Chain A
Amino acid sequence: MFSLRKTLAAASLLVAATHSGAFAANWPTTIAGTTWTGSANNTALTLTVKTQGGGSDNCATITGTMTASGGSSTATGYYCPASGQVAVFRSSGTDVFQVFSGSISQSPAPTFTQFALSGTFAQYYDSAITGFYPYSLLGPYTPATFSASANRAAVGR
């Protein structure tokens, strides 16, 4: 009976270790200086995060730009390193007309694929297009803790 308990305990640990692997990595501590490209409702979009700092203890303020075919607009919001949550308020002048909420994928190591940022954005003001839409962006290859040269070697570039 005792050996059966030990066997079951060992099996449980093995299962836990195996299943925790997909969630073992962390989110990057900062996304300042990163560029994210992809599409929002099937329209090409680039998010450039220029600064990160201040804000609350859990979610730091970020600033940057969003660029689509219509031009560049201001992006302000926050990033939560402990959860990967991102919110971006996109504005033209001072008028906010889109709000993006989403999540960044965890550290891509050891598979060395890119970080992903995806979620939903809300479109405001024009009743013909107001509503919720999906967006999906790809960002840097490495977390900030990795050296760029090591990453280039790892992905064979």
Chain B
Amino acid sequence: MKKSIVLLSAAGLAGLFASGSAFAQAPASVVSSTWNIRANNTSNITLDIKSQATVGNCPSISGTFVDGAGTTGVVGFYCPSTGLISFLRTNSNGSSAQAYTGQVITLSTNPTVLGMDGTFLNASGGANGAYPFEGSNALPPPPPPIQ
């Protein structure tokens, strides 16, 4: 009886580890990654993360955010152990009215492809509130061939 219990426990642990491989890991770094972002159903947004510090549990990141209104700076942090990311869109004077918080993952089927989704807070006045965003560093699909 005791031997059976031991065998069952071992089988359970093996199953646990096997199922763990289905969960994608967060990448160690998000620097040098260019993201195609859709925020509150607005697409054609590019997030370019240019630097990531090497110290701390959630190192600082910086880059640029480009949308139809132009280019703004980005400062924030990324936590490699959890995949959490947060950044501010900053104006030239350092002010900010948008804060993005999300989760970065690698696709289990293609570890070179990163995904990100979460929520951004907009406190610019006219459209105060929380809105969804998502993004990927994968290149957009090519346009359909001309017939």
Contact = CB atoms under 8 A, between A and B. Distances in A.
A78 B128 contact: yes
A35 interface: no
Given A55-B126, A87-B121, A130 B77 contact: yes
B66 interface: no
A122 B60 CA distance: 12
A124 interface: yes
Interface stretch (B83-91, B105-113, B133-141): B83-91
Interface of B: 53, 55-60, 75-77, 79, 84, 86, 88, 90, 93-97, 99, 101, 121, 123, 125-130
Interface residues of A, number: 32
A64 to B, nearest CB: 13
A61 B90 contact: no
A130 B125 contact: no
Contact of B128 (A58, A91, A127, A128): A58
A132 interface: yes
A95 B123 CA distance: 15
Contacts of B97: 89
A122 B55 contact: no
A85 B53 CA distance: 32
Given A96-B94, A99-B99, A85 B123 contact: no
Contact of B123 (A78, A123, A126, A130): A78
B125 A124 contact: no
Interface of chain A, main secondary structure: strand
Contact of B101 (A60, A76, A122): A122
Contacts of A132: 58, 84, 86, 101
Given A96-B90, A124-B88, A130 B60 contact: yes
B119 to A, nearest CB: 9
A56 B128 contact: yes
Contacts of B59: 127, 130
Given A89-B96, A131-B57, A131-B58, 13 more contacts: A55-B125, A56-B125, A56-B128, A61-B125, A78-B128, A89-B97, A99-B88, A99-B121, A101-B99, A124-B75, A125-B60, A127-B60, A131-B79
